[in-house]
Amino acid sequence: MSEMRKERDSMGDVEVPANAYYGAQTQRAVDNFPISNWALPDALIRAMGLVKYACAIANRDLGKLTTSGKTPLETEQVDALLAACQEVAAGKLEDQFPVDVFQTGSGTSSNMNVNEVISNRAIEINGGDRFASEKTIHPNDHVNMGQSTNDTFPTAIHVAVGMTIAEELIPALQKFAATLRSKSEQWDQLIKIGRTHLMDATPLRLGQEFGGFARQIELSIERAQAAQTAILELPVGGTAVGSGINTHPEFGSRVSACLAEQTKIAFIEAVDHFEANAQRDGLVQCHGGLKTIASTLFNVANNIRWLGSGPRCGFGEIQLPTRQPGSSIMPGKVNPVMCESMMQVAARVIGNDQTVTLSGTTGGNFQLNIMMPVMGHATLESIALLSSVVNAFVDLCAADIEANEDACEAAVEQSLSMVTSLNPYVGYEKASELAKEALASGATIRELCEQEQILSEDELNQALDAMRMTEPQE
């Protein structure tokens, strides 16, 4: 059995692993919530460290840490506190945050987990005994000064979400959009048949089709930016219910400014702290943007999967890179695995949106939302999954897609929808008759028109010029 030490909180003594940096309140949460074995995302823990750092900077500059409270800190202790916060923000103590996601709905257990770790690590940095019963750098009085879980935990969620969108999701989408745009330009002169309702439609260029995909991802970048904008207001400074009890009037604005400087993201103090404490509407809006991005990615992956179907009995208009054997029973079979991976991620993110929406809708009562840990987990999971799958899809699929020119061009003349370009010459009714006759006889539209001398040779060649059909004509 692991060695234990005794820690104490307001409810009494608790046995804690001997070498853990956390204390009694963390251990109580570990014991109370043996639910999923899902810890909070690393990005959220790092963001909490950054929030604690910004709070300590604000309290230092306001003179609160060295003059206020039962035991004011010395300058060296403040420096140690800041250093410990920076270590958490840098991810150096990630094994010290064991509290399950499905915990107290405010995130108090995780907030105290962070407070205890920073307190004990700061004491250690300052040369003190972190195992002593009297905490010379106290988790509540110093690390949590001017704060409540109710304002700092959602602030950390916003910071983590804003940073991961900026650092992971947007760059991945930009790479994907650039790859698709390059394919669009490469295949700009390659004609193929269009499809609507999965049925033959008028011609277009493969480059135009991939240009449409590229634009979908370019719009996804804009949606990611809008999702980030939705969480720029920070609740910090509202403390327990939004009133700002036990904190300096400038605290919220100073912390927000510090976080903006540290992250290079335009975070600001909440316009109304009662709204910011009580509701997570911004997070719901943010994840709605992520859901839309997931929907787009599903569509693009599924279309690419269809275009690459075959190799002999499908559309086969593009060739997807071969990544792995596709069947345990059919030798030589290769499947569109990267498309399928992206589609599954999209389904997960759309499911996460239901979690976030329900949590935001029913979890907020009066001055507090009590579904915040799962909201933060779901949102950060969605960002991480979207970012990872987009990068993998670009590197392992999209970048190496090749066009099958023969398959693209072979279907154009065979399509009955070629008759559409005859509408201006013979009218819709006559063109419809020609399409039906061609289908019954097996002839192409061109062959039928030549047989029945519907148009002169020059007019027919102009009308059935597939390249002309891919652009508007005067």
| pLDDT tens track for 295-350 | 999 999 999 999 999 999 999 999 999 999 999 999 999 999 999 999 999 999 99
- The per-residue pLDDT for 1 is 44
Average pLDDT along the chain: 96
Q: Does residue 197 have an active-site annotation?
A: yes
Could you tell me the fold of the domain covering 415-469? Ribonucleotide Reductase Protein R1; domain 1 (1.10.40)
Q: Give the percent of the chain with pLDDT over 70.
A: 100
Instruction: Say how many residues make up the chain.
Output: 474
- The per-residue pLDDT for 325 is 93
Residues paired with residue 6 on neighbouring β-strands, in sequence order: 15
pTM value is 0.96
Window from 64-68, 236-240, 357-361 with minimum mean pLDDT: 64-68
Q: Half-sphere exposure of 320 toward its Cβ, with a 13 Å CA cutoff?
A: 28
Range(s) for CATH 1.10.275.10 in the chain?
20-145
Distances in whole angstroms, Cα of residue 229 to Cα of each of 133, 177, 252, 459: 44, 21, 19, 55
Assign domain 20-145 to a CATH class: mainly alpha
Interatomic CA distance for residues 332 and 344, integer angstroms: 24
- Tokens encoding 39: 């810890």
In this predicted structure, the answer to whether residue 66 has a pLDDT above a threshold of 60 is yes
**pLDDT mean over 263-283:** 98
- Tokens encoding 293: 């991005």
Candidates 327, 328, 359, 388; catalytic one: 327
pLDDT in tens, 410-425: 889 999 999 999 999 9
Candidates 2, 10, 133, 197; catalytic one: 197
| CATH number of the domain located at residue range(s) 151-230+280-406 in this protein | 1.20.200.10
- The per-residue pLDDT for 474 is 78
Range(s) for CATH 1.20.200.10 in the chain?
151-230+280-406
Confidence at 70, pLDDT banded by 50, 70, 90: confident
**pLDDT mean over 68-78:** 92
Range(s) for CATH 1.10.40.30 in the chain?
415-469
Q: Where are the beta strands (DSSP E) in 187-258?
A: 191-196, 199-205, 233-234
Interatomic CA distance for residues 393 and 342, integer angstroms: 7
- The per-residue pLDDT for 282 is 98
